[in-house]
Amino acid sequence: NPWKCPHCAYIQHNHRGPDLRRHIATHSRQQWICCGLPLLEAAAAGVPDRVFADKNAVWTYAGEVMVGGCRWTFSRKDAFRRHLRKEEGRCWGD
């Protein structure tokens, strides 16, 4: 099937090449990760105390403790920025 992702079971049902290429890019070059903010910067950025108390919101990414990210990955910067706007109050990043 030419519309099946070679990395997973995803099939591009609308047969749009750019959509399939964008999906495949998420497997190979995950450039944007909603990983939150470094612990030392989070309080200054306005991350509320309730987020620090949530065990799932504090995690380690690339050897640094991060706060306030959902860990979703994005292949495009505009999609990541849209996610941050949509999830305002839940996800933080820059």
Predicted structure pTM score: 0.65
- In whole angstroms, how far apart are CA 83 and each of 9, 14, 37, 70, 92? 24, 23, 15, 10, 10
Which pLDDT tens digit goes with each residue over 47-81?
Answer: 888 888 888 888 898 899 999 888 888 878 888 99
Which pLDDT tens digit goes with each residue over 35-51?
Answer: 999 998 998 888 888 88
CA distance 85 to 73: 15
